[in-house]
Chains A and B, each alone.
Chain A
Amino acid sequence: MARSPDPQAMAPSRPGSTRTAPPALPADFWSRPRMRTYLLFDATGIVYLLVGLVALRVAWALAAGPDAWQALMRSFANPLYVLFHSIALVAAIFVGIRFFRLFPKAQPARIGPAKPPPRPLLHAMLYAAWGAVTLALLVVLGGVWP
């Protein structure tokens, strides 16, 4: 999936007197491990789009009444739906891990008098919050509480 950079990438606003060759990228630029991970991260957007469409279908079934709801629940047992939801779960975990790794260093050194906590603590807080929200959702959606 090699791709040339924009021919104007990093070109000066006024060309110099020397003829230059257009910028180039290594042929395997997009297939390098770090770039592959990044592209995979970007591609999860497609999964979220599809999850959004499924959510719309859920909302429509809710509005359409009990029969439509039951039909929807039955359709979710289809192996293709199970596969899709499994992929969506993996995508969410992958994005979460990448986001939590990169998020702490995007924090400003301080906001007014407040300094952010040390990065390891911030990491731990993010994972703890993620775990707590997941647990709360499982408890509510699983019918354990209320």
Chain B
Amino acid sequence: MSELRKRTFVVTRFDPDVDHAPKTQSYEVPCRPDWKVLDALNFIKDEIDGTLSHRWSCRMAVCGSCGMNVDGEPKLTCKTSLSDYGDTVEIAPLANFPIIRDLVIEMDGFLEKLESVKPWILTAKQKAAEEGTYRQSPEQLAAFKQFSMCINCMLCYAACPVVAQEPHFLGPAAIALGHRYNMDSRDEGAAERNRVFRGEGTVFNCSYANECSEVCPKNVDPAAAVNQAKLNAVIDWAASFVVQRDR
């Protein structure tokens, strides 16, 4: 049996039926050395305070639901080892998002931004089944594969200083996803998405702080996608003066 270490977790609490504003509550937890932050939260929920609300699911950095601010830094709690932290660990909901309850954030705004970039393959005409499957070479796949690894954990939104100040900004994950489809050789909707990229939530709001890429747990590098999207949006805008578009 490995030795347990007592740690204090300072957790943000907010009950919309009772509280005017979020507050913090401390919990003493005997932690195993191999625990992740999520293990400690589940211990609190199961053994100390069943009223604590937090999101989690897969426990293996795939579902993207357990993102929280750990000691002020956006982290996937299932991937964040407690051994990297001291005796006191602060856990708060992801920054920049409205808080529904305790550590649970409102993600409808994020989903609206994702939807606005039309994250699906757009084609002028659907290929008939008898024409066979869409073919793609490894090189064509490599052009966007990195940006398709996003798990929508929203850590990039919690880290981005522009998201904090520009409510309309599309944000890193949505732009990376739109750029992913723009780079897809099967897609024909780049002009449509570039109009969104130049619209109200414009990609040009990004000041390249690079924080999104620093905190991304899947190495998607959204800052690269956003800044590539800026260049493509400008080229597309210039091309729109000389090339007639159907869509």
Contact = CB atoms under 8 A, between A and B. Distances in A.
Interface of A: 3, 5-6, 8-13, 16, 18-26, 28-29, 32, 34-35, 38, 42, 102, 105-110
Contacts of B163: 5, 9-10
Contacts of B209: 35, 38
A28 B209 CA distance: 17
Contact of B21 (A6, A21, A105): A21
A99 to B, nearest CB: 9
Interface in B197-242: 207-211, 214, 221, 223-224, 227-228, 230-232
A34 B214 contact: yes
Nearest to B224: A105
A105 B228 CA distance: 8
A73 B210 CA distance: 41
Interface string B10-29: 00001010010110000000
B99 interface: yes
Contact of A10 (B92, B97, B207, B227): B97
B96 A9 contact: yes
Contacts of A25: 95-96, 164
B112 interface: yes
B143 A13 contact: no
Contacts of A16: 106, 108
Contact of B106 (A12, A13, A109): A12
5 contacts: A5-B96, A6-B165, A11-B98, A25-B96, A38-B210
A21 B95 contact: no
B167 A8 contact: yes
Kindly list the 6 A-B residue pairs having the minimum CB-CB distance in the complex, ordered from nearest: A26-B72, A106-B227, A12-B108, A5-B164, A20-B98, A8-B167
Contact of A6 (B110, B157, B164): B164
A6 B166 CA distance: 7
Contacts of B210: 38, 102
B65 interface: no
Interface string B149-185: 0000000010001011111000100000000000100
Contacts, number: 117
Given A10-B97, A10-B105, A21-B22, 5 more contacts: A10-B96, A11-B167, A20-B106, A34-B214, A38-B210
B208 A23 contact: no
Contacts of A23: 95-99, 164
Contacts of B110: 10
Contacts of B92: 24, 26
Given A23-B99, A28-B72, A32-B72, A10 B161 contact: no
B16 A20 contact: yes
A26 B143 CA distance: 36
A19 B167 contact: no
B33 interface: no
Nearest to B168: A8
Interface string B105-144: 1101110100000000000000000000000000000111
Contacts of A107: 228
B176 to A, nearest CB: 12
B77 interface: no
B147 to A, nearest CB: 10
Contacts of A8: 167
B108 A18 contact: no
